[in-house]
Structures are given as structure tokens and as C-alpha cells.
Amino acid sequence: MNVRDLVNSSPPPATAVSPCIPHSPDQYIQRGHPMSASGSIPPSRTVSPPNVDSRKASIVLIGMRGVGKTTLATITARALGWELLDTDIVFERQYCTSIVDFVASQGWEAFRQIESDILHDLLRTNRTEKVIACGGGVVELERNRALLHAFKGSQGLVIHVLRDKDAVLTYIRDSTHFPPYYHESAKEAWNRREKFFRECCSFHFVSLTVPIPPGLPDTVTGDQTLALKPVEDDFFRLLRFVHGIDTNKVPVGRGAPRSYCLSLTFDDVAQAIPKIEDLSLGIDAWEIRVDLLASLDFTFLAFQIAILRQHSPLPIIFTLWRAPNGDRPLDPEVTKNTVDALFKHALRLGVEYVELDARFPRSIVEDVVSLKGNTTIIGSFYDTTRNLSWNGPEAQLVYNSIVGMGADIVKIVYFAQSYEDNLSLQKFTAKVDRPIIAINLGAEGQRSRVLNHVLTPVSHPLLPRVSFPGQLSFYETQTTLCSAFSTLLPKKKYYLFGCPIAHSMSPTFHNTAFATLGLPHAYELKETSTVQELANVMRSPDFGGASVTIPYKSDIIPLLQHVSRHAKIIGAVNTISPIPGGGGYTGDNTDWRAIKTCLLRYLTPANAVTCTTTALVLGAGGTSRAALYALYHIGVINIYICNRTRRNAEALAREFERLDPLLNIRVLDHLTVPLPIYPPPTMVISTIPATSTDGANPDNGSQLIDIGLHPDHLSPLGGVAIELAYERRITSLLALAEEKRAAGVAWTGVEGIELLLEQGYEQYRIWTARRAPKAQVRQKVLEVYHRSWGKGLRVRTADLP
């Protein structure tokens, strides 16, 4: 993972960050990266890391040579607008020689002393808004280890970067950029330093090796930087968690929806990845049963967490059972000290949840709770005697003990002797004030699994073994809720409001999603000639929500009791939901979120948004408002609108400029070559129809509209081209992006059907509090889309539903 030009180029100075984004990493991350689909709740106790007072505290990266520290530091510095400092580069600039030549003439000991002085000076004078990449051997000296330990404790973050050992050792062996190790091999040095890195760091980050496309010598391509996008995403997920910006937690308070977790019972998480889409259906969190893994080696565990995170945004519960409650007990040689070290290691990995058995030694519990930061503690108690009852005094004593140990969520598992034990469980949970996972085991206790509200453990037929006997699948819990407890999961009707809507893809989308997750709901079209007819539909007791398309996106607003801030700014609502408790209806807009998601997904680290970033929006109609808002939300302040009716575009520009005095929106009434835009745009969004029909000769079919786009209109640094029209797979804009890519410029084209899917995923989450089954929905929608498109059906393009 070493793209030399990206590594060696200097990131923008701190003052170069976009002025519309407050100059601090948390604000950038919050606006520049979407929150998790499951939502987030504030930290339950201390802010992680516990002793860091400011989110502006400098970030120090340590780890073996070749793990990608400088590359990661460069990406991070660019994204945050901070300064990058590299101890190796500082050394070579100060001494006007390469490290290879210096070590060859002066020896390693002399180099280590100078490196130590450089490290001390950098950490003393750069405590905020710096990303500092350290050489692989800084942990060799006790003096440096003490300094890093003190720095992580009170001043900033020290993050240990890990990478696949074999790949790194191969890189070191073949590289001419580093001097050879003396008296030992690179592998021996790695093994000896591992303990030092763990002792010195606040957190671990595993930079999973990604394939970098080949390029010419001394050049870097956009595709090479795009290949690093997963590394950037994973690292900022860690930073968001550490700084408490998005702790990626499952909502568990009053009024929160039911939540579910699935225990991955593989001995290697990598075995689950080919099945990850199916395994994740309906669930809100993963549980990693550490005691079932093939190894308890710290590096192995770090990679297990990293692999799962790379393929899923869901939070992780780290579980280590102390007693043989499952099908395999802990190894007897797993001592108290090892258990303590494993939980501390989990905290350094930034896992969202840790489950602590209430019968663990008190010293372990106190250690973990005191260091938990933004990790949520689930305190658990499993009755293996089968003698305890929810009616007896022991239940309250167990609950009080778990709360007293500092747990944020209580988990109590008993064995049901009769059906009435489920009723006793319900009475007990109704009187406690802490979020609780309460389950009865055995055949008589299955009802409790269905009715449990918080992080209900479920199983899946694709798992190699069950985590606990008697678990149901998510699908089974939903169908049981619907059939046996219909008041808890009542059937709802959802609609698309608009006219004309006969060929909409929305019924295919949502009915496929409902059926896949075992939900009893239905989605249908409601085509009306006036908006007033919709009020009667909304008043129906089984009304669950509605998508809204033209011509009612604005006209529907007077019928709503609440409109989100986003929808108010955009001036359009495309999603309606009933307010719980009969409080009327609320409206939101998911179009802009779909645009934002696609922009961030494909914008390369090399094109991180700064104050000089430019974007071009084609069209000034209703959907362009969502495009402008999405651009503003990711920090773009230099936006150009091209529209044939200049007056409409200027009115739109003036309206949006009132959002922020730093916004600079300019209007073009035609596209010239070259454009009066510098630098050229790295984001182009088309909100206009892609085709037109010859009114005199309708049998001629639709023709692509040529608005004068030219290859020079797109940045030579690459970028993202988004087409909101979806009546054609390839439009003029997408063809141009493909032409640029064929010429070696990393432009990514995003089809309109992708935007349709993204906004629908968000609608589904709003209505059901569940993530849409994306793979199944996408497959079905594309099947219908291709069949309809092949028949020549003209799909509306001024809206997404």
C-alpha cells in the first residue's frame, strides 16, 4: 500500500481546509462522512480516549516499516487539513542525506539517537492539528517508549498501524528505500517490537492490504488513490468512534426500535465474508465469540475485527465466555492475566461493545470499565444451575450487581421451567430502568426471544454452529411477531404518491425488501389528480408511510405537522412517516442523502474536499436543489450551475448562498471550452433529462440530449459524475466520464438507477428502522429495470422514486 507520489506529496497546510468547515477534525468527519445506518447514541460515560481533552489533538502513527504509515498519514492530513510530519523525512531534510547512506556510514545507534531527538522535538512542539508518522524503530529506545506512553495518556492519540506480515516482509525485502537490519531479520525485529507497539499505543488500526493498480514510474493515477478508499473509510470510522462523533451504537432508549445481533460462530471471520450479505439481513450488530476463534493471538484478533469492519458497517460485540455455556469452554490455560489483556486489547481495537460476565474477577471488570472510553459495556449473567427465578430476590440482586459493576446494558439469561416464567420475565423487565437483554432458555422460553427488545441474539442457517441452543433466525422472529403478537408488528400499507407513476420502480423495491425480511407490510401506487386526495389515505389507521414524487413534493408540505430541516432547505419532501402517538405526519428528503453517499463513496483521497474544490451542477430544477444541498453538506463551497434559463439558476443560487456566507455559487448559461472554472470540477451532477422525444415523430424513440459537454470540462485529476436521470443506462455525461477513464483519468460514473436505490435504502430505514436487504433488492430492481428499459418504457427523470 505505497503510492509514492501520494506519499511524497505535501498535504495542504492547515489553513487550506475549506473555510465552510470549522477547522477541526470532528467537524470534518461529521459532515464529510455519513453516520451509520443504525444511528448513534452519545457515549454512555467517559469520552474516548479518556485523557484527551481536544479533538484537535495530534495523531501519531507508529508501526513497522512498510505498513503504510506515511500513506495513511498523508490521506488523513489531506482530509483533516492538518500538517503532515514524517520523522524519516525530517531526518533526511535536516541532515541532507538518506537514511540508507547515513546508517551505512554512521551505524544504527547514531541514527536511533538522532531519531529520538527528532521525535521528542516533534511531540513537544506539535501537540495539535498534526499527523505525525514515525519510523518503524522508534519503539526500540526506552526513552521513546516512555514519551509515546505519556503522549497517549494526556496529550493525543498514538495509533499502531498493522498490516499483513507476509506482505510487509516481502515489501521490505524488495525495497531499496530502507537500510538492512543488522544482527537480525525483519521478521525477528517485527516479533520483538510487537509488544512495544501495544504498550505505546492508544488504539490499533489494521490497514488491510489492498491491490494497487499498476502505473507508470514516478506517477500516481486516480485509480491508485481510489484503491486506498477502503483504508481511508476504515481509518475515519475509527477516528469518529474515538472522538465520540459517531460511536456507531444501536439505539436502546425508550421508543427505540427492536434490535438484533448475530453471533459469528466461525473459527475465522474470513469464512463469513462470502455470506456476509445474507448473514446480516435484519440484524443491527455482530457478536464475535472470541472463545470460538482459531486463536487468541492479539494480531489474529486485530485482523478478525478489521476484516469484519471492511465488509460491514455494523457495530461489533466482543464476547469471551468464562464458563462452558456454549459448545466449547475456554482453554484452561487462558489465565486471569490473559483474559484481562484480551479485553484491553479489544478496547484498543475500538470495538463498540464488550460483554463482561458478572462473575469475572472484580479486578478485570474494574480495569475494563475504567478504560472503556466510548465502548459500551454489556454486563452479563448466565444461570447454569437452572434454579433461579425472575420472581425470586436473586433476580434483583443479579441486576443490581451488574449495574454496580458499571455496565451500560444488562444481560440476564435464565432457564424457563414453565411458560409462566416468560410472564415473570416481562414483569421484571418492566420495572428496571437500565437497557436489558432478558432471555429464558429452553423450549418454554422461546417466547422471551421473540419479545426481547434490545440486541436479541438470533441465529442463521448459514452459520457453522449455533451460538446458543434455541435461538431463532431474524426471519423467524419477525414472522412470529406478526402471527402471534400482531399488535407488536402490525401490518402497514405504504404508498407512492404522484402522477403519473405507472412505471415506478418503488413497489418492486419495497415489496421485495418487506418480503425478504419477513415483514408483513405492502407497498402500492396511489396516483391522484389532486394533493387533497392524499390526506384521506394518510388518515387510514394502517398507513405506514409514503414516497412522494412529482408533482407533490412541495404541495404535500401543508399536510404535514413536521418537516425535517434538510427538507425545508431543499424545499421538497419525498418521504412521509406517521409521527408516533398520533401526532400527525413528518416529511423528509432522502434524495440529497443518496447524492451525498455516492459522492463520498467514489471521491478519491487525492480529491478530498478543500477550499479550492469545484463542482458543476447541470440544471436548476427541483432535483438540483438536492444536489446543491448534498455538495454543501460535504463542504464544497465553489459550485457552478449551468442552466439554459439563467434567471431560474440565479434565483436558486441566491437562495442557497443564504445558507452560508462562504458559499460561492456562480451561474453559467452555456458550456464553453474551456470552462471559466479553475480548477476544473471534480464533481459533476446532472439533474436534467438525459433524452428527448421527437414530438413530430414519436416513433423515432428518444434521443440523448447534447448540452455541449466536452472532455476538458472534467478535471484531469479524476472525479465523480452523477447522472440522476435513469431512462437510459448511458447518458452524455456518463459516456464522457467513461471516455476520460479509458484515457487513464480516474473518473467514476454513477448511473441514475444507483441513486434510485440509495434513496430507497434510506426511505426503508426511516420507515422500518431496519437496513434494506440491498443485494436482494438490487437484483430484483435491476431485473425489472432492464426488462422495462428494453421495452422502451420512458421513466420519469425529474424525481427518483
- Highest average pLDDT, of 150-154, 256-260, 794-798, comes from 256-260
| b/e per residue 674-705 (b: at least 16 CB within 10 A) | ebebeebbbbbbbbbbbbeeeeeeeeeebeee
Q: Rounded CA gap, 224 and 212, in Å?
A: 6
Q: Is the distance from CB of 311 to CB of 287 less than 8 angstroms?
A: no
**What pLDDT, in 10s, does the model give residues 678-733?**
999 999 999 987 655 544 444 445 656 667 899 999 999 999 999 998 777 788 89
pLDDT bracket for residue 582 (50, 70, 90)? confident
Rounded to whole angstroms, how far apart are CA atoms 193 and 65? Answer: 11
Q: What is the reported pLDDT for 708?
A: 84
- Answer with the residue of higher pLDDT: 44 or 653: 653
Q: Is 253 within the bounds of a domain?
A: no
Rounded to 5°, angle at Cα 267 from 264 and 270: 75
Pairwise CA distance, residues 190 & 541, whole Å: 65
What does the mean pLDDT of the chain come to? Answer: 86
Give the least confident one: 23-27, 366-370, 586-590, 620-624: 23-27
Confidence band for 331, pLDDT divided at 50, 70 and 90: low
Q: Which of 72-76, 184-188, 299-303, 573-577 has the lowest average pLDDT?
A: 184-188
Q: What is the pLDDT of residue 790?
A: 54
CATH number for 275:
3.20.20.70
Query: Identity (one letter) of the amino acid at 781?
Result: V
Higher local confidence (pLDDT), 384 or 135:
135
Give the model's pLDDT for residue 392: 86
Nearest 10 degrees: Cα torsion 570, 571, 573, 574: -60
pLDDT band at 322 (very low <50, low <70, confident <90, very high): low
The last residue of one of the domains, among 187, 210, 242, is: 242
DSSP string, 637-666: -EEEEE-SSHHHHHHHHHHHHTT-TT-EEE
Residue 763 lies in a domain: no
In a domain, 339, yes or no: yes
Is residue 150, in this structure, part of any structural domain at all?
yes
The answer to whether residues 559 and 621 belong to one domain is: no
Between helices 362-371 and 336-348, what is the axis angle to 10°? 10
DSSP strand pairing (747-750 vs 493-498): unpaired
Sequence-distant (≥ 6) Cβ neighbours of residue 199 within 8 angstroms: 145, 149
Is 215 part of any domain?
A: yes
Close Cβ partners of 651 (under 8 Å, ≥ 6 residues apart): none
Top-confidence residue, 308 or 66: 308
Task: Verify that 183 and 128 share a domain, yes or no.
Answer: yes
Q: What is the 3-state secondary structure (H, E, C) of 448-503?
A: HHHHCCCCEEEECCCCCCCCCCCCCEHHHHHHHHHHHCCCCCCCCEEEEEECCCCC
Burial letters 46-63, b for 16+ CB under 10 A, else e: ebbbeebeebbbbbbbbb
Q: Above 60 in pLDDT, residue 425?
A: yes
End-to-end CA distance of the chain: give it in Å, rounded.
40
Categorize the per-residue pLDDT at 15 as very low, low, confident or very high, splitting at 50, 70 and 90: very low
Query: What pLDDT is stored for residue 11 in this prediction?
Result: 36
Q: What per-residue confidence (pLDDT) applies to 374?
A: 95
Considering the domain architecture, whether residues 706 and 751 belong to the same structural domain is answered as yes
Integer angstrom CA distances of residue 277 from 251, 293, 312, 462, 774: 22, 21, 9, 11, 8
Q: What is the CATH number of the domain that holds 645?
A: 3.40.50.720
% of the chain at pLDDT higher than 90: 66
Q: Where are the alpha helices (DSSP H) in 603-742?
A: 622-633, 646-657, 732-742
pLDDT value, residue 787: 82
**The domain that contains 43 carries what CATH number?**
3.40.50.300
At 554, give phi and psi (nearest 5°): -100, -35
Arithmetic mean of pLDDT, 304-321: 95
Identity of residue 317: I
What is the rounded distance in angstroms from the CA atom of residue 281 to the CA atom of residue 303? 23
In this structure, the answer to whether residues 312 and 445 fall within a common structural domain is yes
Q: Is 795 a domain residue? A: no
Mean pLDDT value of segment 205-213: 84
> Which of the listed residues 432, 449, 484 is the one where a domain comes to its end?
484
799 in a domain, yes or no?
no
Nearest C-alpha neighbor of 71 from the set 166, 4, 22: 4
What is the spatial distance between Cα 525 and Cα 500, in angstroms, rounded to a whole number? 10
Shared-domain flag, residues 422 and 539? no
Q: Which of 206, 181, 428, 160 is nearest to 303 (CA)?
A: 206
Query: What is residue 338's predicted lDDT score, i.e. its pLDDT?
Result: 87
Going by pLDDT thresholds of 50, 70 and 90, the confidence category of residue 220 is low
* Whether residue 126 is found in the same domain as residue 149: yes
**Do residues 386 and 463 share a domain?**
yes
317 and 211 share a domain? no
Q: Which three cell numbers stand for residue 348?
A: 484498543
Domain count, the chain: 4
Residues 123 and 98: beta-carbon distance below 8 Å: no
Q: Which amino acid is at 455?
A: L
pLDDT for residue 238 is more than 90:
yes
Q: Are residues 526 and 643 in the same domain?
A: no
Q: Confidence band (pLDDT; 50, 70, 90) for 333?
A: low
Query: Residue 439 sits in which domain range?
Result: 260-484
Which pLDDT does position 503 carry in this prediction? Answer: 83
* Other beta carbons less than 10 A from residue 274's beta carbon: 11
Q: What is the pLDDT of residue 744?
A: 86
- Please indicate, yes or no, whether residues 672 and 563 belong to a single structural domain of this protein: no
Interval 457-511: pLDDT, tens: 999 999 999 888 889 999 999 999 988 888 889 999 999 999 888 888 999 999 9
d(CA 152, CA 159): 9
Are 733 and 709 within one domain?
A: yes
**Among candidate residues 463, 484, 505, the one where a domain is terminated:** 484
Kindly tell me if the per-residue pLDDT of 41 is higher than 60. no
Task: Answer yes or no: are the C-beta atoms of 517 and 773 closer than 8 Å.
Answer: yes
Closest CA to 528 of 555, 499, 554, 503: 499
| pLDDT over threshold 50, residue 419 | yes
Amino acid letter for position 26 = D
pTM: predicted TM-score of the whole model, two decimal places:
0.88
Q: Does residue 471 lie within any of the structural domains?
A: yes
Integer-rounded Cα Rg, in Å, for the chain is 28
The verdict on 677 and 529 lying in the same domain is no
Instruction: Give CA torsion, residues 364, 368, 369, 370, to 10 deg.
Output: 100
